[in-house]
Each structure stands twice: as C-alpha cells, then as structure tokens.
Amino acid sequence: MSATITKDMTFHQVMRMSPEVLKVLAKFNLGCVGCMGAQHETLEKGAMAHGLDIDELLQELNAIFDR
C-alpha cells in the first residue's frame, strides 16, 4: 500500500488509514481516539501542543506504509 502522511493531515484522516496508526500514536502518548480535537487538529499542531518532534512522528507513521 502506497501512502504518505503529511503534517497537514488531521489525526482523524490518519487514523482512518490503518489500525497500525493507533499503535504509533500510543507510542507517542497521543490518545487521539477519544479526543474531540482529532477531527480538525493537524498532526503538526497536535505534535506542537504535546511537545513532540513532528518529523519523528511523521517518520514513524510513514514507516507503516513502507513495509
């Protein structure tokens, strides 16, 4: 499956792409499944709000689809 996750995508969009996404988000302590902001918040804004490195998050998320 060829897909690319970008910093401008919302958490909701990304979570719908693969169940594996939830595992990566959990690894970063992001409880996005129950968060109302997941519908509209971009990965970049969420990472900033939680003090995370967006590039590291994107690398791990995109690794799901590089397998």
Residue of 5, 12, 19 lying closest to 57 (CA atoms): 5
Residue 10 φ/ψ, nearest 5 degrees = -85, 160
Question: What is the predicted pLDDT for the residue at 22?
Answer: 93
Q: What Rg value do the Cα atoms of the chain yield, rounded?
A: 11
Write out pLDDT tens, residues 19-38.
999 999 999 988 776 777 77
Considering the domain boundaries, does residue 58 fall inside one? yes
% of the chain beyond a pLDDT of 70: 94
Backbone conformation region of residue 10, classed left if phi is above 0, alpha if psi is from -120 to 50, else beta: beta
Q: Give the total number of structural domains in the chain.
A: 1
Considering the domain boundaries, does residue 61 fall inside one? yes
Tokens of 48: 């900033």
Residue 42 φ/ψ, nearest 5 degrees = -80, 160
| Residue-number span of the structural domain to which 19 is assigned | 11-66
